[in-house]
Amino acid sequence: MSTQRYKCMIQYDGTNYVGYQIQKNGISVQEVIQKALKKMFKGQKILIEASGRTDSGVHALGQVIHFECPANIEPIHLQRALNSLLPADISIKHTERVSDEFHSRFHAKGKKYMYRVDLNRFADPFKRLYTLHHPYRIDLVKLQQALDKLVGEHDFTSFCSTKTIKEDKVRTVYQAKYEMDEEKNELVFTFVGNGFLYNMVRIFVGTCLQIADGLKEPEEIDRLFEVKDRNEAGPTASGKGLYLVEVYYDNQFLEKLEKRTSPPWPMKK
């Protein structure tokens, strides 16, 4: 029987999951989607592949997965059926047929992440699962300088969890910027790169906030590129503030990126 490969863009609230990937210690997003597919296809096991993992508590606005279906179904029908079987914290937002060659991880050319920081003095109860609470005065000029230093091709060993199995720690960051959402009193980071190492965005945020707090100077980033030691960088910021926003499969996204990152002052909305 011939099969059909599908690509789906999915969103999830990562709060109740041990992360994207199947693990022994709890329920993962992958496991839940595979169970829904199994139910749909009468007990047939279907493996899904994603653009990459996300950690426990990390959210996705645009994760991409692919899988082989034993039947050739209209994408919108497949999507509706799957959504009706999935819990409310996971949603399939877009579905399309792709060729058997397409691979969500191997063919990814780049990714965009967002990280939300709640600057309110007293933490907002509605943001507790969706932002890092950081009620301190921050130096936006230094923050901008630090972010500018992250852009480019670098060896990011200092910004990568030692638990990684990847040998090559060289990646290119195309964009590292912040915006101030003054209405919500939030600092929102955006990072775009050709690939991100294990915990890389969270260590970027932990280190940049140290610099914004005045605990370190922006030149710390240069030193971290030199020393190549995870222990020298800032803490791994909480997973709950992190969102996988988009996965790019061709290089058009590079043309759309602004040349400069962000201005060294808060942007009015």
CA 121 and chain centroid, separation: 26
By C-beta, is 128 or 166 nearer to a copy of itself?
Answer: 128
Applying the rule CB under 8 A, the residues between 103 and 142 that interact with a copy of itself are 122-126, 128, 130
**Residue 113 annotated as lining a ligand binding site:** yes
Instruction: List the structure tokens of 248.
Output: 């790019």
By C-beta, is 28 or 79 nearer to a copy of itself?
Answer: 79
Q: What is the bridge-based pairing of β-strands 4-12 and 90-98? A: antiparallel
- Least CB distance to a copy of itself at residue 122 (A): 5
Per-residue string for binding with a copy of itself, 49-78, x by CB under 8 A? ----------x-------------------
Residue type, 101: E
Q: Which of 79, 72, 71 is nearest to 95 (CA)?
A: 79
Terminal alpha carbon distance of the chain: 54
Q: Which residues are catalytic, by number?
A: 55
Residue type, 41: F
- How many residues form the binding site for a copy of itself (CB under 8 A)? 19
Cβ–Cβ under 8 Å, residues 30 and 104: no
By C-beta, is 43 or 125 nearer to a copy of itself?
Answer: 125
Instruction: List the structure tokens of 124.
Output: 């907002």
By C-beta, is 95 or 199 nearer to a copy of itself?
Answer: 95
- Least CB distance to a copy of itself at residue 252 (A): 25
Asked if 83 is part of the footprint of a copy of itself (rule: CB under 8 A), the reply reads yes
- Least CB distance to a copy of itself at residue 63 (A): 11
3/16 Cα distance (integer angstroms)? 32
Per-residue string for binding with a copy of itself, 9-48, x by CB under 8 A? --xxx-----------------------------------
Instruction: List the structure tokens of 123.
Output: 């933490």
- Least CB distance to a copy of itself at residue 185 (A): 13
Q: Which residues neighbour 219 within 8 Å (Cβ) at sequence distance 6 or greater?
A: none
Tokens 């994603």 -> residue: 50
Cα Rg of the chain (Å, integer): 19
Q: Which of 1, 2, 88, 101 binds a copy of itself (CB under 8 A)?
A: 88
By C-beta, is 147 or 242 nearer to a copy of itself?
Answer: 242
Q: Where are the alpha helices (DSSP H) in the chain?
A: 29-40, 75-85, 140-150, 200-212, 220-227, 252-256
Question: Where along the sequence are the contacts to a copy of itself (CB under 8 A)?
Answer: 11-13, 59, 79, 83, 88-93, 122-126, 128, 130
Binding site listing: 113
Binding site listing for substrate: 113
